[in-house]
Amino acid sequence: MFSYSKDGITVASILDKRKQNKKGSFPIKIRVTYKRVRKHYSTGKDLTIEEWNLLPSSKSRLLKETRESIENSFSLVKTNVENLAEKGEFSFDALNLRLSKANGSNVNNALLARIENLRRDDRIGSMAISKNVLSNIEHFGGKNLSFDTISIEWLKRYEKHMLIDKKHATVGFHMREIRTIMNDAKKAGIIKDTQYPFGKGKYEIPTSEGNKKALTLEQLGKVIRFTDGNETTEKYKDLWFFIYLCNGINVADVVKLKFKNIRDGEICFVRQKTERTTKNRKEIRATLSNEIEAIINRWGNTYKPENYIFPYLTGKEDPETIKKITKDLTKRINARMKKIGNHLGFGDITTYTARHSFATVLKRAGTNIAFISESLGHNDLKTTESYLASFEKDERQKNAGFLTNF
């Protein structure tokens, strides 16, 4: 009945026929659509289909009052969508914060809303991080944490508290999650620019290089030739090698690969990590080499286009189950590779090592950065350059030795 559209965002009042109540009527909601994602906001009103059809022109006092109430709800959503769209800052999280501002929304509620949105979008990994952040924040700051409380000093105290039993990388995860909530609060007008605590000269999120490692070709050869006569070791070593050969593919993407992903002698896939966060689906292509074919033949399913390549999913799993299966498989691969790495004197080897090694081997061979970037599924060259730079300390140290090798 009421509708509005701006910058690819559509707002409309609808009769939500997905669930009928005991009175035989349906709830009236304000639906917002953006980038093919729909969110529904309650008006507190419900009507039968017949009443809904009569609503635009009815002179009934009851229906007229209902129409005015729906228009008020529509106008509230529309106004906030307009304001965010004009700034070029629209997101559902920001809209949710704006709409809840009058109800005294706080950081805890903002995180709860974010968790629900992530659950609805099947982003189970991100949802788990948000739930963990909420639990830790409530333990440290209580269950009614206002946005005004999140200051530079508060963040420093929270960081100190976290570092008692957590690593810098974990602290970084938490702080980036809080920053996301504060960004949305700023967009929604809940806090002023001067209250925003993140950035240069304010609170800067700690970074950690972690345990990033890339193997040389010589080391890779020793890893692949290693054998202890155990079939389980061979299987997980092969899966690790598959990750390396398949452009450093993530385990989450490995388990979802189907035989129909193999086209024209290439394995084609879209990274799950970036599928929902970028406007354009970026397809990655990896050459179906003899080595990859051999691994599939040894450990894969029977060929059918709709079959998964590897026997970890059936297609009946929900997102949370898929996440658990992925996590378990990653642990199994890492456990076997750790044993191999320690036996060969290379230290811990993980699935990340396979991805890192894929990138650095190509770089050291003189491969164009643009090709490496495309193969990794990065959205821009700066990301790839930064990614590669973190692995080159050993190379710099080696080259420094040449300067005094008189």
Q: Tens of pLDDT along 185-204?
A: 887 778 888 999 999 899 99
pLDDT higher for 44 or 349? 349
- What mean pLDDT is predicted for residues 36-44? 88
Q: Which percentage of the chain shows pLDDT scores above 70?
A: 91
Is the pLDDT at 226 greater than 50? The verdict is yes
Question: What is the pLDDT at residue 400?
Answer: 63
Confidence (pLDDT) at 102: 47
Mean confidence (pLDDT) of the chain: 87
User: How many Å from the N-terminal Cα to the C-terminal Cα in the chain?
Assistant: 83
Residue 1's CB is within 10 A of a number of other CB atoms, namely: 14
Backbone angles phi, psi at 53, to 5 degrees: -65, -30
Q: Which of the pair, 271 or 207, is modelled with greater confidence?
A: 271
Q: Residues for the chain: how many in total?
A: 406
Q: What is the pLDDT of residue 382?
A: 78
Q: Which of 36-50, 252-266, 360-374 has the highest mean pLDDT?
A: 252-266
DSSP state of 284: E
> What pLDDT was estimated at residue 211?
56
Q: Is the dihedral of CA 327, 332, 338, 340 positive or negative?
A: negative
Q: Phi then psi for 343, rounded to 5 degrees? A: -65, -40
Tell me which of 234 and 40 has the higher pLDDT: 234
What's the pTM? 0.64
Contact in structure between 28 and 43 (CB atoms under 8 Å): yes
Structure confidence at residue 397 (pLDDT): 62
Give the span between the Cα atoms of 291 and 37, in whole angstroms: 40
> Which pLDDT value is given to residue 242?
97
Average pLDDT over residues 2-13: 91
Q: Name the helix (H) or strand (E) containing 174.
A: helix 168-187
- Asked whether the predicted pLDDT for residue 130 surpasses 50, the reply is yes
Can you tell me which residue has the tokens 């559902």? Answer: 92
pLDDT at 357 over 80: yes
On the question of pLDDT at 30 being above 50, the answer is yes
* Strands ordered across the beta sheet of 262-263: 262-263, 266-270, 283-287
101-122: per-residue pLDDT in tens? 544 578 998 898 888 878 877 7
**Confidence (pLDDT) at 364:** 86
Quick check: 241 and 378 in contact, CB under 8 A?
Answer: no
Tell me what pLDDT residue 304 has.
94
Check residue 276 and give its pLDDT. 57
Q: What is the average per-residue pLDDT within 383-399? A: 66
pLDDT score for 269: 92
More confident residue, 293 or 94: 293
